[in-house]
Structure 1
């Protein structure tokens, strides 16, 4: 059997490059040659063990754009009913839904109770730090629109679907609302982009890296606030811009536990606090429950975007790729064998978006 390379997390903080078999696609599925495997902040939390115990060994990577190598029996369209053929570029949702559980059929929500986010590295696998991704039946994939730049789609990886999922759950940004975004990584930048096209009056981004704040402005931020300032000074600057009632929406995209109580404090009266970045940071932080009541706050989280969020994100990126510098957000490329360097660069805050490029 032909073999391909993959980055395998054998145990926390222990990565290896394996040669793995390239399996035939199953009925309803597909085999794709990975073009870009996105490096997500969650991958770092998974690698270090901060996100909990995983079913080791696993092939890393849950963001991917690939080219169809083979289609499984019975497959002639993508999961939106668009004709698909060998050679087409596709973008996939990394969870195979069973459509036979309470979450899938009654709640119509993700994550699915019977599906896996990762498969054992020795089995057919959809991890994207690899030459090939095996997409099982039930794992939604979508053909890229004509003219879509794969890098523009990959640049916001699972971040843009996550933001769309968050706004679906907590309510969209409305025209003339004021928005604060904690963090200018891919999730934060996605929130800026969505808020900008929705017509927000103020979009204020908090981060410590000047380059990331500059990119946030390019994507629609109206103001930026430095983490070098004290929490009190940050709050003063934000309320000066938003008015005495405070921000209508605050988005947590920092992935840093102390951001949570600050976000609750920053959210204005009758506002919404949307927690998106703390999936991989296990722990607790103190807040005053009374603040939720007296300010009439809505606090909600979102994770595991639905397939429709991946479909929406793909088309949104394709539509906006010439209006905003989306492809340019991919600032660092790494070979499969250098996944450890990719994760180290993400941890150091050196990148806007890092990707695994199997051609390197």
Structure 2
């Protein structure tokens, strides 16, 4: 029997390292040896219970790059590209059912029967582990030749999330003025996409100077510190955008008070896309009149589709020599030290942390 290590959340705020049995892939699936497992802010919310009660015990990790160990009767990935044992792949972490209204009629994720986690004692696709067992229907994609796994892993699920968000609110247009609330992976992904699309201004708000410096390295044209007051932040932003205000505001802070500030910052005839508040359960007051008088469009976005993971992988491979993506991975942790990784993310001490099974 082959076994591998895995970080298991056995109950809220309680992590253990288990040796779990590694199963052969089912038909249509794959078994991969994890190379990098991304540590996401959502994992922190899952651990603490802020995102609700999970179906314990679960193996953490929904971002992964791995090397194929075995294939379940396949010779191509989910984009039709030939694959073989030894190839590097990344995967979409949602196991959709492909037989419900959302899947077949709306073509949307998540679906009514989506499975995000499997019991830790069963074959599992959590990426805080030596191996990930990818079930039939969970899309995986071969990394392009020459792609740096670090560059692909650097923005994890954040880049697919922002691709989905911009699909829902409309893409960044040449010459637009964009404000990004937060310089974590979601915010940095928005910076990359806005800069590459030709935005005139890409203004980033954050409270950590190091993160703001990284945002500039990825294409931000200006930064605003959370140490400044709400009024002062607004003044600085409108000085840069002009009296019409930002044409697009991106919430990537994951902090509830960011929402009313984003509504306030949004300019006339603008858009506000909310992506970071998935795990922050609660309410915040806003004035509905602001939505009306500004003709403001507000959209939410989460749970990227497989195509967004594929697009993010391709974009990372294209930009890896132009934009310092790989250097965003500032911290690596062993499987046994997953608790330290989550604490570091929670405290804002990292740009991007990963679980590295080789440590």
Aligned match of 1:236 = 235
Q: Shift in Å at residue 86 of structure 1?
A: 0.2
- Residue of structure 1 in register with 2:97 after alignment: 98
Please report the TM-score for the alignment, with normalisation by the length of structure 1.
0.99
Determine the structure 2 residue equivalent to 1:289. 288
Question: Equivalents in 2 of 1:333, 1:94: separation in Å?
Answer: 21
Following TM superposition, by how much is the alpha carbon of 1:344 offset from its aligned partner in structure 2, in angstroms? 0.6
Partner of 1:344: 343
Cα distance in 1 between the residues matched to 2:28 and 2:318: 29
For residues 96-140 of structure 1, give each alpha carbon's deviation from its aligned partner in whole angstroms, at most 9, with x where no partner exists. Answer: 222110001110110021121111101100000000000000000
| Residue number in structure 1 paired with 2:72 | 72
Q: Which residue of 2 aligns with 1:54?
A: 54
The alpha carbon displacement at 1:273 in A equals 0.3
Q: How does 1:89-168 map to 2 (within 5 A)?
A: 89-168=88-167
2:267 paired with 1:275: no
- Inter-partner Cα distance in structure 2 for 1:333 and 1:347: 15
| Structure 1 residue aligned with 2:12 | 12
> Corresponding residue for 1:357?
356
Deviations 1:160-208 (A, max 9, x none): 0000000001100000000000000000000000000000000000001
TM-score by length of 2: 1.00
Unaligned runs of 5+ in 2: none
SS of the residue 2:93 aligns to: strand
Whole-Å Cα distance in 2 between the matches of residues 41 and 57 of structure 1?
A: 19
Matched position secondary structure for 1:38: strand
The Cα RMSD (Å) is 0.4
SS at match of 2:92: strand
**Separation (CA, whole Å) in 1 of partners of 2:99 and 2:168:** 22
The equivalent residue for 2:309 is 310
* Corresponding position: 1:45 with 2:58: no
Structure 1 residue 235 displacement after superposition = 0.3
Match for residue 184 of structure 1?
183
The offset of 1:329, in angstroms, is: 0.3
**Residues in 1 aligned to 2:91 and 2:112: alpha-carbon distance in whole angstroms:** 19
Runs of 4+ in 1 over 6 A off after TM superposition: none
Question: What's the counterpart of residue 322 of structure 1?
Answer: 321
**Cα distance in 2, alignment partners of residues 107 and 3 from structure 1:** 40
Distance 2:97 2:48 in 1: 30
Q: In structure 1, how many angstroms separate the alpha carbons of the residues matched to 2:352 and 2:169?
A: 26
CA deviation profile, 1:216-242 (whole Å, cap 9, x unmatched) = 000000000000000000000000000
Q: Distance in 2 between matches of 1:339 and 1:97?
A: 27
Matched residues in 2 for 1:246 and 1:292: separation? 14
Cα distance in 2 for residues equivalent to 1:24 and 1:113:
28
